[in-house]
Structures are given as structure tokens and as C-alpha cells.
Structure 1
Amino acid sequence: MTYPRTSAFGPAAEVVPSPRFPEIERDVLAFWERDDTFRASIEQRDGADEWVFYDGPPFANGLPHYGHLLTGYAKDLFPRFQTMRGKKVDRVFGWDTHGLPAELEAMKQLGITEKSEIEDMGIAAFNAKAKDSVLEYTQQWEDYVTRQARWVDFERGYKTLDTGYMESVLWAFKTLWDKGLAYEGHRVLPYCWRDETPLSNHELRMDDDVYKMRQDPSVTVTFPLVGVKAETLGLTGVRALAWTTTPWTLPTNLALAVGPDIEYVVVPGGPAGAADVKAGDDSEGAAAHRYLLASDLLANYAKDLGYEGAAAAVEAVERTLRGEELRDVHYDRLFDYYADAETWGTGTAWRILVDDYVTTTDGTGIVHQAPAYGEDDHRVTSAAGIPLIMSLDDGGRFLPQVTDVAGELWMDANRPLIRLLRAEGRLLREASYEHSYPHCWRCRNPLIYKAVSSWFVRVTDIKDDLISANEQITWAPENVKHGQFGKWLEGARDWSISRNRFWGSPIPVWKSDDPEYPRVDAYGSLEELERDFGRLPRNEAGEVDLHRPYIDDLTRSNPDDPTGRSTMRRIEDVFDVWFDSGSMPYAQVHYTFENREWFDTHAPA
């Protein structure tokens, strides 16, 4: 063998002392294209063992960024390595085309900002614009991926908006439904009021900057105890203290929570007068005020209660009680917006509940409960038969019932509500509270926690199987196994998979529009839809189209209604885009309707 050897790029002797690396890279890319090297690397390995690779789809309605570059190298490195080991590694690109990112881009191009504007223009027109926008940058993506020297097949690329792909998504949901693993329910979830949609908990880990430091007003509010049990315990008029960093939730305060084994103290107002005493109150009456809070936290409130220091406040304690003793003691409500028990079902509200989640880490050891705006609040009050009342609309603005701040955005209502509390003598302390707070990874606005009606996958029913499967995985680095990923599995919750939006795969559930004749049907194929509705959803061009509004037009009489008056109508929700894109392994090949043998021998990756 003679040296220097020649190559496709010229004799080795022609290598220059100061090479221009970008030109060399372009020469290599040009050779790969002429030689069709990527496809040849696959064809040469026909019959060899396969290393199965699934390529998760990116959104194509925006340009690629550094994060795509970084993950793209990993997606190229491992398939190349396995190819060099003699294995056949097919690689097919895909496009994630549904979901809120596509809607936001369409809204931007249309010059609209509100969900109501979409409804005004019509779902068909809006979704047509969203469809046009989702593949706007495909050529730039292909150029970018190719330029980074990544080998992947674009020609056979799948799209989540294709009817075949969507049919497989419907099949997946129907399979979960048939197994009892899909259900509808209310749950308090992270909620973006700007985009008017809930987020799943894993979306709070989408980006490093989802949690940002934020300053919010915190308030400590007084709740005078009343009623028969308060009188029996000698607590009538004692002011229970509760601390919150969400003053805007106080209009829906329907309970207080204490810890069963936490020690609470009753302490009178100090010599300097407590901070909640209204101007003009006589000093004798002010001195008679008594307060209830956790013993461990009394020192933090000594000065607010009128004492020179913690020691003086502790010395003034009149009595102690365990949290369990306070169960079902009633108190004076803060506001009368929901005082009509017949209208709002609040006959069992405004009392103290007991639960182990209450701690003395901060605050007062007594927790304000707003059932619609806290996960624990909802759980504890639901168990006590206290109703869930919504004070905000889908856009995060107060409903008319909350007359003092009706129409105000939730965060803008904090200040006027605090003024009302102060004027009524119910405010002991106001302070600024800086904390790490979740923001929407899409629009970057602060989220709220809000009870929403949603469809869920029962992840908790299969959690043990997931944890067991994790034990079979070899992780690199190893600490991820029982660290970040393992802990995430241990804390896994049921997955909210529905979004009250427009552009996405439809949740294939039809419900009776008459509660007198309830019925729920789920569908998992075009064949099932045609069987029950007598036709398939078609767009203006006559093509089968599973998108809204065409799928919404499929209705039929309720078979369980002997009067024949009720109608089966599809729920309006679409799938969370992560359910959509997460169906990629089987939906890209239209499983289970086609390629059954291929998928059954190529899953899991």
C-alpha cells in the first residue's frame, strides 16, 4: 500500500497547513449527498440485527435553537455508533404539528390575543391558519439538521396532523378507556390564565427558567371563632390567625386547616396593642382580643400581637390545645359573596378541619382553605363535604359574584382585597414575600393553581410497574436511576391529558346532552365512528379530517333515551400535545391498523 493515499477529497499531499474547516465540512456533506452514504449504510446491513431508534418530533413552526442542536448530536451519535458495530439503524424524522405553540403562532400571525377572538372568527378558519403555520420552517430545519452532520430520513417523515397518525392516537385512548385507565375528573392543576389551559405537572420542568423568583404580597388574616363548640371550649371570639401568599383566593375561603398533633396557643393582645385593632377601638376592647396560632410560631408574631419580644408573648400564653381539639369549630367568614347556603351549598363551610399536611414550617400553623385553588385545599374540603366554588373565569378574571373586584385580573385584585381586610379589622400583617414561583413555559406569565375539569390517565394505577421497569434500565450517569428520574416516578400522579383548545387530536368521547339520560361513548377508529354516526368527518375539500370542527359535527341520538330527544355530542377538548407526540412509536406507522408485525418486533426501542 502506498502513501499518501488518495481520497474522495483529493490527495493527502494537498492538505494545507491552515485548513478552512467550514469548507471541509461542506465538502464532506456534499460527498455524503452524492454518494447517498446514509442510505447505503442502512441497505448494506439488510438482514443484520437492528438497533431500533425512535426520533421524537420537534415543532416546525419556529426555528431550531441551541437545545435542538445539543439533543440532535445525541440523536446522531448513538445510531452512528450502533451502525459502526454492524447493526441496522433506521432513522425517520417527524414533525410535531399540534398544540398550543401552533395556536400561539397562528394567533400572532392573525393579530389576535384572546381565545374568544378565535371563537368569533370560527374554529375552521383558525385551524386552517394553524395548519399553514406548523410546517413553515421545515426547509430551515432540514438545512440545520443536515448542516450539523446528522443522518436522518426526511422523505419518510411523519406528521402528527396526518389522519393515520391521529387515528392511532384515538386507538391509544380507547385502549386506556377500555382498561379503566382513563377517566374524567376535577383536579387542581397548574393553569395558564393567559392561554386559558391547564398544564401537566411535568410541564413545570420543561425549562430551567419555568421557576422564577417573584415577589407577592403575603397577609396574615384573623378569623374570630364562633358557634356552640367554640363556646364549649371557651374560645368564642378568639381570633384564629392564617397566613397566605395568595390574597386573591380569600374571597373563596371556606375552611381553615390545622394539624392534629400540633400544639396551638391562645394569647391575648399585648401591651402595645395588636396590629389588627381598628383605629377608634377602645383600648379596653382591644386588650380583650385573644389570638390562636401554633406554639412554635408564636415568636414570629410577638410584635404584631403587641409584645416587646418573643419571651413576653410566650409568658402571656393563656392556654394550649392540640389541633384535634379544634375540629369543627366554626368562625366568622371574611366575605359574604357566597353566604347564601341554598345557592352555593355552603351550609357546611367556614369551620376548622384537621389534616396531617399542615406544618409549622412557616406561617401560623393554621392554613386558609380555598377549595378551587389548592391541591390540598381541594382534597381536605372535598372530604369534609364543602363545595368547590370558582371565583375566576377561564381568563383569570373575577366573576360578578365577587362584587368588590368583579372583572379584575387575579393578581390585580390583591391590593383592593387587602384594603378591604384592613378596613374591616381582619388584617394582622402584610408583607412582601419573595419566592420561587412557576411560570408558563410558553408565554412566561405566572401560573395559578386552579380546579379544572380534565381527562386523566391513571398513572398511579401503573406506578409500581413503572418503578419496576426502571430497575431494568442501565442509566448513565447511574445516579439518575434512583435520583431525579426514580424520585419522579415515585411521586407520579395521574396525568391530565385534555386541553380546552382547538388545534389538536380530538379526545374521542361523546356524552349525552341530557343528564336525565346519561351515557358516555369512546371511539378508537374511523371504522367505529362510521358505524355509529353513519359517516366520517370531512373537511371542505371532502377529505377525511379528524380535526375540529369537523369531528364536532358528528352527532347521533342517545340510544339510552327512550324519548329520543337527547343527543350524543363530542366533548370539546383536544389531547395535550404530549399525549399526541408521545404516541409517536406506534402512530408513525399507523399501528394498530397497519404494520402490526413490524411494530410488535420493533417495540420498545
Structure 2
Amino acid sequence: ELKIINFWEKNKIFEKSVKQRPVTKQYVFYDGPPFATGTPHYGHILGLTSKDVFPRFWTMKGFRCERRWGWDCHGLPIENLAEKDLKISEKKEIEAGGVDKFNAYCRSKVLGYAEDWGKVVRRMGKWIEFDNSYKTMDKSYMETIWFIFKKLYDKKLIYEGKKILMYCPRCETPISKAEIAMDNSYKTVTEKSIIVSFKLKGEKNTFLLAWTTTPWTLIGNVALAVNSRMDYVNVKVGSNYFVLCKESIEMINGEKYKIVDEFKGKELVGKGYEPLYETAEGKAYVVVNGGKSVSSEEGTGIVHLALYGEFDYDIIKKNKLSIVQHLDEKGRLIKGPEEWLGEWFKDLDKNIIADLDNKNLLFKKLDFSHSYPFCYRCETPLFYNAVDSWFINIEKIRDKLLKESKKINWYPAGKVEKRFEYIIKTAPDWTISRNRFWATAIPVWKCSKCDEIRIIGSIDELRKNAVEKIPKNIDLHKDVMDNIHLKCSKCGSVMN
């Protein structure tokens, strides 16, 4: 094998295989670049091998197949490595020490294992232009991202908004579902789930039962959702009355009960209840209709609503309910019982369970095993959080994506095609911004006075519009871009 590899290199066989084929007859192969933050393992080798097969096949069929190695230099992998080396535990420390210094360190470490990768690629016999690699931190690459971003924005396919996203409190940034799924970041965990008693106002000893797997969200509870068309029952247990959906009556298991009333969920809508923790200001603590999304498959048919869930947020907005964001960017309590302020969200569970038990509002405590998402880089438990972010509008192009996917020759046919189709059909709008430092800065400038927005699509455009003089070798990373300003065309103020 080594003899063959040496022959290929000495005689530049790969280079000749490209040059001897016409430019007019190309086979283009897109290959995602790896991170160079660790040595390659067998999983990489398997992927590299399969990605080498197809270009070789098409080369032998007479096609010109150029292959150039690339490095993914940005993002959490290198930032986590830098934080570990610099003994940084949170985002504020980076800002205090200087984003420029942090980014400089990231740059110095980003290709730390490039030589090891080169040895593996050569030894396995993969044909690719390795030494002349492109890097996502190259100015030309980053400027291309700006160009694409502006194109999408001009086509009204990019927007800024607040959505419920997977969020890492350690990295302090949203993470897309695709990233989590791709890296198999779900782990099976067993935690305490609880059935909570919410006391109905104006009805003696009557409680609504709601089940939750995230007790920490109860501090931010603003409403309870029912299905207006579903059947509910009022059952008597001792001297108290408990309301839940009829099909979930087994939740009363272990208690001696008697059904005293039966009715549709619509009869509960509009009723008020006493808050567990009074954190809301404005409209709150009322029963609302959650529609078909509220079912009897899991829980009690009554859903406790807090900001930290996609369904919850939609219903909260629809009913113009109070917004309570009781955790900070690090996942610590900032609103709620004073003695718990500063507690990490996962540590709140045990306090809340004990507190509800003391108040006789804990109806039942259950062990619950389920799949839970963790950060694919730092392994911190994630939670759904309401985050301001930039999104690509998938909904606008969904039909076109489905239509184009029909033109793809799928192997193996059938199952893979259906899986891809399902992904497109169910994909939410794609969050593309991250609240981090070592990455391509999003080319958006906002007016400090009138909130006018300006999108820049190239260095030339930046040079024409910037207040400051732009040097020839301008760096497009955040630490530099934060010091470049534009003049607002609408009111004349400074744009940051």
C-alpha cells in the first residue's frame, strides 16, 4: 500500500486525473469540512472512504472531479477548547478579558491537529487536494457568507424574531435541532415527574391536575390548557375534588375516588386558579383552550403552560398572556422565591417538589425515563428557551424543497427518500445565528436611534458605507466588526 501511495504522489496521479478531464464535463462533489480540534477516529475514516468512492467512480467515467480539502474553523468546538485551556467558565469572562484576545487564541489553536489529519488522509489513500485547503475563517469564505446572507434577506427569506429554541446555558447560545439530532446528543435519563394540584378560584376544595416532567418551569406558569372538545371529570378523593380528563382517570390510581361530574373541556375555559408562584404581571392564571394538541395520551389532559416550550409559547401569544422568563442566560433563577434566586434550573426541581409537598399541592410524584437533549460539545443539559435569533424562512420554500427533492436519485430508494421528505415537511424555520464570538459576524447593522436595519453583502460595500476607514486586510470576525459603524440613511445616527 505504501508503495502505491508513494507512486501516486511521486507521479502526481491524482492531479493528472483531474487535469486530463475537460472543464466542460464536471462532476461536482460537496464534502462537508471537519473540525481540526481532535485527531480523526474510525468514524471519520469510514466517512472519508465512502466519500472517496464516488469521485473515483465518476473520474473513471471520464468526468473532471476536483476535490479540495476544507477545515471547519468556527463555532463551539474550538470555543470550548479555548475556554478549557484559558480556564474560562462563562461568557462574561470572555467579554471581560477581551473578545479580540479570545478570538486570537481560537485562531492559534484551530488547526492544532491538521498534521495528524494529513497523515491519516494520505495513509488511507484518499485522493484530495489537501495542502491547499480552504478554511471557514478565510476572509474570502466569510465574505461569501455575507453575500449569501444578503441575497436571502433581499428575497425575504431571512428574518429576526423570538422563538423557542434548544438552548445551552453553558455555551449561552441557541442550538438547532439538526445539530442535536446529527450528533446523537439525546441520552436516556430518569427524573422525577409530578402531578400538581392547581386550586380553582371560587370552587371549594377543587383542584385542576396537571402533569409535568420539568418541575422548574412551574415558577413561570401563566396558564393551564385543556382541549375544549375532550371529556373531563370531577372526582372526589376524601374531602377534595380533582379535575382531569376522563381517559386519564388511571392517574388517580391508588386513591379511593368517586366521579361526581362529567363535562366537556370548554366548560373549564376562562376559569381562574390560584398561582403556585406569583411571578406574572398582567393576564395570567387562567384556563385556556389548547385545542387538539392537548390530548389524553400522556398526563392528565391539562397542560401547564410556561414560556419554555414551543406549544406553550404559541398558546401564550395567542391568548395575550403574561410573558415570564424566570431564568437568566446561564439557566439560573432570576425571578421567583427569594431563597432560590441564583439556583441552576435542574437544581430547582427538588426544591419545588419539596415545597409543593409542604403546601399539599403535590398530588403524585413519579419516576419518568425519557430521552433528553444535551449540548453536543460541552454535554450540558439543554432546555427550550425564548431567544432572539435570525432565521431562514423554511415555510416559504418548503414546497420548492419538496419539488426539488423529487429530482434526486436516492440510494437506497424508497425509505431514505421518505425520511428526507419527512424532514423537510416537519422542519421548523432554521435558526442560523449563535450568541458567540469565534464565527462569521452576521452583516447586520442597526441604527441606535430609529432601529433602521442595513445588510452588507461584501467588503467593497462595507468600505463604501462605513464611517471608519476599512483597511485592505480587514478581518470579518466579531471583535473587529463591533468597531465598524455605518451612518443611518434614515435619521443620520450611528449604526452598530
| Aligned residues of 2:219 and 2:336 also touching (Cα < 8 A) | no
Residue 330 of structure 1: SS of its match in structure 2?
coil
Quick one: which of 256, 259, 268 aligns to 1:317?
259
Distance 2:107 2:27 in 1: 34
Quick one: which of 474, 477, 493 aligns to 1:547?
477
Unaligned 5+ segments in structure 2 are: none
Distance 1:433 1:523 in 2: 49
Quick one: which of 493, 497, 508 aligns to 2:432?
497
Pairwise CA distance, 1:59:
0.8
| Aligned residues of 2:245 and 2:296 also touching (Cα < 8 A) | yes
Larger radius of gyration: 1
Q: Residues 536 and 52 of structure 1: is their aligned pair in 2 closer, same or farther, counting only changes over 3 Å? A: farther
Please give the per-residue CA displacement for 1:353-374, whole angstroms capped at 9, x wherever unaligned: 1122001012111000002x01
AA at the equivalent of 1:521: R
Equivalent in the alignment of 1:519: 452
| Aligned residues of 2:37 and 2:110 also touching (Cα < 8 A) | yes
Pairwise CA distance, 1:530:
1.5
Q: Counterparts in 2 of 1:303-314, with a 5 A limit?
A: 303=254, 306-307=255-256, 313=257
Quick one: which of 168, 191, 198 aligns to 1:192?
168
Distance 1:256 1:513 in 2: 39
| Aligned residues of 1:123 and 1:502 also touching (Cα < 8 A) | yes
Distance 1:357 1:35 in 2: 65
Q: Does 1:437 align with 2:437?
A: no
Q: Counterparts in 2 of 1:225-374, with a 5 A limit?
A: 225-226=200-201, 235=203, 237-270=205-238, 287=239, 289-303=240-254, 306-307=255-256, 313=257, 316-338=258-280, 341=281, 346=282, 348-355=283-290, 356-371=292-307, 373-374=308-309
TM-score (norm 1): 0.79
Unaligned 5+ segments in structure 1 are: 1-24, 228-234, 271-286, 308-312, 570-605
Quick one: which of 396, 400, 412 aligns to 1:477?
412
Distance 1:481 1:66 in 2: 24
Moved more, 185-194 or 250-259: 185-194
Distance 1:48 1:417 in 2: 68
Pairwise CA distance, 1:388:
2.2
Residue 200 of structure 2: SS of its match in structure 1?
strand
| Aligned residues of 2:466 and 2:487 also touching (Cα < 8 A) | no
| Aligned residues of 2:467 and 2:487 also touching (Cα < 8 A) | no
Residue 462 of structure 1: SS of its match in structure 2?
helix
Equivalent in the alignment of 1:214: 189
Quick one: which of 158, 167, 188 aligns to 1:182?
158
Equivalent in the alignment of 2:462: 529
CA RMSD in angstroms, aligned pairs only: 1.6
| Aligned residues of 1:54 and 1:92 also touching (Cα < 8 A) | no
AA at the equivalent of 1:381: I
Q: Once the two structures are aligned, what percentage of the paired residues are identical?
A: 39
Pairwise CA distance, 1:526:
1.1
Q: Does 1:404 align with 2:339?
A: yes
Distance 2:340 2:79 in 1: 31
Quick one: which of 75, 83, 100 aligns to 2:76?
100
TM-score (norm 2): 0.96
Residue 259 of structure 2: SS of its match in structure 1?
coil
Equivalent in the alignment of 1:592: none
Pairwise CA distance, 1:36:
0.9
Pairwise CA distance, 1:560:
2.7
Pairwise CA distance, 1:48:
6.2
AA at the equivalent of 2:477: H
Q: Does 1:159 align with 2:127?
A: no
| Aligned residues of 1:391 and 1:402 also touching (Cα < 8 A) | no
Pairwise CA distance, 1:404:
3.2
| Aligned residues of 1:93 and 1:152 also touching (Cα < 8 A) | yes
Quick one: which of 447, 460, 463 aligns to 2:395?
460
Distance 1:557 1:401 in 2: 43
Q: Residues 238 and 472 of structure 1: is their aligned pair in 2 closer, same or farther, counting only changes over 3 Å? A: same
Please give the per-residue CA displacement for 1:521-563, whole angstroms capped at 9, x wherever unaligned: 111111221122144555xxx73111121111112443333xx
* Number of residue pairs aligned between Structure 1 and Structure 2: 495
Please give the per-residue CA displacement for 1:95-134, whole angstroms capped at 9, x wherever unaligned: 1111111111111222222212111110000000001111
Distance 1:47 1:113 in 2: 51
Pairwise CA distance, 1:85:
1.3
Please give the per-residue CA displacement for 1:176-224, whole angstroms capped at 9, x wherever unaligned: 111111111111111111111111111121223x111101111111111
AA at the equivalent of 2:237: G
Pairwise CA distance, 1:153:
0.5
Distance 1:38 1:558 in 2: 52
Residue 205 of structure 1: SS of its match in structure 2?
helix
Pairwise CA distance, 1:135:
1.1
